[in-house]
A and B are shown apart, each in its own frame.
Chain A
Amino acid sequence: MRTRFQQGLEELRARLLRMGGLAEQAVDRACQAYIDRDLSRCNMVLEGESQVNATEREIDELAFDLLALQQPAAVDLRFILAVTKINSDLERVGDQAVNIAERVMDLVELPKADLPVDIPRMAAAVSAMVRRALESFIEGKAELAQAVLEMDSVVDRMKDEAFITLVKTMNERPDVTRQALDALLIARNLERVADHATNIAEDVIFWVRGADVRHNVAPEATVHQEVTDTR
């Protein structure tokens, strides 16, 4: 029943997955560019930004139409609302990837500095968070999303450690201040990406369970069965 509507929901899902792919790819590229000191990768990230923005617009348009024309209720309504929010978070992830790429471009022009901070490890963790958040959306599984929420504190800790270490480095070795600053900013950008991944996970839980778990408030609603057939 409601074939047009179901097709609309399918299309919305497909578009969001595409968006997720673009955002994930941008972050991975930016991190890889840092590791390899690769300018071409940075350029790829910057060029990909316009496609990210365009896809964001497409998704919002479709969601808006479905809301206006199909009177969705219950799980379908939650799905569409969740998609619009995830969409916005993914676009911000794209922006953060661009920011990282810009910092990397700056680093590449400076002499290589050996900084006592493990950006690649942080990048890997953040990447994993994004991937798992998107997986939880694909599978419609709230447990996967819950796992993402738990990883956020790990990343926060990494960022705090990086800050302390890098500030100390800037004090002790003023010649690498710029590099340290760049690294600091990259750490912050990564932490932001992690926050967005957390938001995505919270939105998935809202969709699947009808529970609002944002801002660490315990969910009021309980549901007697998981969402299974919403795709």
Chain B
Amino acid sequence: MGVGIRVEKLNAWFGKTQALHEISMEAPANHATAVIGPSGCGKSTFVRCLNRMHETIPDARAAGQVLIGDLNVYNGTSAVQIRRRIGMVFQKPNPFPTMSIYDNVAAGLKLNGFRDHRRLDEIVERSLRFSALWDEVKDTLRKKSGASLSGGQQQRLCIARALAVEPEVLLMDEPCSALDPISTGKIEELIFQLKERFTIVIVTHNMQQASRVAEFTGFFLLGKLIEFDKTEKIFTNPSDKRTEDYVTGRFG
């Protein structure tokens, strides 16, 4: 089951430039929350702060409170441990190029010391079923490399890989922006089903996608969270004029 995410006064910097200012919000468990905003508004940075990927960039740091269920992300636990409980799917599908489909899905487990091979088979199958890829690849699991699949399939492979380690939260950074409409549709359907078991935060620059898949939406602008509310409210009657201007396409 998924857990809720609570963010309190999160700030983030790239060197001396402040990228996020006092972000506070709550993403409820087993729901999808969308993060929207124009380019450069900090939405990707925000999501990458949730699993401390932000720190992998040299000179980048973040401070504040991020609580994922009972896990305090910025207080004590190592970043590596945290990332094992939070899965991430990136904008451009990035399967490990030298590994087969099976090895890709199993990578998160194998690289962290998991050795039980029979259980591994089960887990790989289950993850691929979750990401609606099993039927398409079940006969070529070990023969085909991860990179030989189509774009949409690769992204679903990356989702399976993230799910294999059984995170509680799945972060998706513009997962469909490199995909065609049909693959996008499949992944949106997937998000719908995944919500039952995981909590999802999805960054998207496609507002219609946000309105299709997410129950809650946060609008970011210049590193600040301008408005956070139910998606219907944001798209039918937002409270802040800036949100309305963005959502109606008057800028951005």
Contact = CB atoms under 8 A, between A and B. Distances in A.
Given A1-B249, A72-B248, A223 B239 contact: yes
B134 interface: no
Contacts of B238: 74
Contacts of A215: none
A210 to B, nearest CB: 3
B251 A73 contact: no
Contacts of A78: 236-237
B237 A74 contact: yes
Contacts of A73: 207, 211, 235-236, 247-249
B121 interface: no
Interface residues of B, number: 17
Interface in A38-72: 71-72
Nearest to B244: A74
Contacts of A210: 236-237
A99 B234 CA distance: 44
Interface string B215-252: 00000000000000000001111111100100111110
B248 A76 contact: yes
Contacts of A74: 234-238, 244, 247-248
Contacts of B248: 2, 72-76
A216 interface: no
Interface of A: 1-2, 5, 71-78, 210, 221, 223-225
Contacts of B236: 73-74, 77-78, 210
Contact of B249 (A5, A221, A225): A5
Contacts of B249: 1-2, 5, 73
B112 interface: no
B208 interface: yes
Interface in B163-213: 207-208, 211
A-B complex: 5 closest residue pairs judged by Cβ atoms: A210-B237, A73-B247, A2-B249, A73-B235, A76-B248
A1 B246 CA distance: 11
Contacts of A224: 239-240
B208 A1 contact: no
Contacts of B208: 71
B231 to A, nearest CB: 11
Residue of B237, B241, B244 contacting most chain A CB atoms (<10 Å): B237
Given A1-B250, A2-B250, A71-B208, A223 B240 contact: no
Given A74-B235, A74-B237, A74-B248, 19 more contacts: A1-B249, A2-B249, A2-B250, A5-B249, A71-B208, A73-B207, A73-B211, A73-B236, A73-B247, A74-B234, A74-B236, A74-B238, A75-B244, A75-B248, A77-B236, A78-B236, A221-B237, A223-B237, A223-B239
Nearest to B233: A221
B219 to A, nearest CB: 11
25 contacts: A1-B250, A2-B248, A2-B249, A71-B208, A72-B248, A73-B235, A73-B236, A73-B247, A73-B248, A73-B249, A74-B234, A74-B236, A74-B238, A74-B244, A74-B247, A75-B248, A76-B248, A78-B236, A210-B236, A210-B237, A221-B237, A223-B239, A224-B239, A224-B240, A225-B241
